[in-house]
Copies of this chain bind each other. A is one copy, B any other.
Amino acid sequence: MFEITILGCGSATPSLKHMPSSQVVDHNGKYFMIDCGEGTQLEVRRRGIKMARLNNIFISHLHGDHILGLPGLLSSLSLNDFTGEMHVYMLPEGIDVIKQTLATFAHEPNYTLTFHPLTVENKVIYEDATMTVETFPLSHTVPAVGFLFKEKPKPRRIIGEMVEFHQVPLRERAALKDGADYVKEDGTVVPNRLLTRDPEPPSTYAYASDTMPCRSVREAVAGVDLLYHEATYGDDKVSQAHGRGHSTAREAGRIAREVGAKQLVIGHFSKAYNNNEQVLIDQAREEYPTAILAYEGLRIKC
Contact = CB atoms under 8 A, between A and B. Distances in A.
Contacts of A42: 14, 16, 39
A46 interface: yes
A194 to B, nearest CB: 55
A234 interface: no
Interface stretch (A66-74, A147-155, A174-182): A66-74
Contacts of A14: 41-42, 45, 72, 76
A93 to B, nearest CB: 6
A79 interface: yes
Contact of A71 (B13, B16, B39, B68): B68
Interface residues of A, number: 32
Contact of A64 (B63, B75, B93, B94): B75
Interface in A42-62: 42, 45-46, 62
B68 A105 contact: yes
28 contacts: A12-B79, A14-B42, A14-B72, A14-B76, A15-B45, A16-B42, A38-B69, A38-B72, A39-B39, A39-B42, A62-B104, A62-B105, A63-B105, A64-B72, A64-B106, A68-B71, A68-B72, A68-B75, A68-B101, A68-B105, A93-B104, A94-B104, A94-B105, A97-B97, A97-B100, A97-B105, A100-B100, A101-B101
Given A12-B76, A68-B75, 15 more contacts: A13-B76, A13-B79, A14-B41, A14-B42, A14-B76, A16-B42, A16-B45, A16-B46, A38-B39, A64-B75, A67-B105, A93-B104, A97-B100, A97-B105, A101-B101
